[in-house]
């Protein structure tokens, strides 16, 4: 069993992969935050730019913890 890049114990395809395909699949701010972390790991610059303009984008404090 492989974990998603965000750390959840489910496959990427069933987790952040769905959100990367369609940002509307992010049901909560936490989903979006996790998908942004996975995008960071995968160097998905396009996704990071796109999600940056989402209404539920992480606060600057959360962003700092993602980068670490």
32 lines the binding site for Zn ion (CB under 5 A) = no
Of 16, 26, 32, 39, the one binding Zn ion (CB under 5 A) is 16
Task: Work out how close the CB of 56 gets to Zn ion at its nearest, in angstroms, rounded to a whole number.
Answer: 16
Task: Work out how close the CB of 61 gets to Zn ion at its nearest, in angstroms, rounded to a whole number.
Answer: 20
26 lines the binding site for Zn ion (CB under 5 A) = no
**Angstrom distance (rounded) from CA 13 to CA 20:** 9
Smaller CB distance to Zn ion: residue 8 or 63?
A: 8
């Amino acid at each position: 069993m492989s974990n998603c890049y965000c750390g959840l114990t489910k496959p990427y395809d069933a987790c952040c992969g769905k959100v990367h395909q369609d940002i509307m699949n992010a049901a909560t701010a936490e989903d979006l935050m996790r998908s942004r972390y996975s995008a960071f790991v995968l160097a998905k610059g396009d996704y990071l730019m796109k999600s940056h303009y989402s209404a539920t984008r992480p606060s600057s404090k959360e962003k700092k913890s993602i980068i670490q």
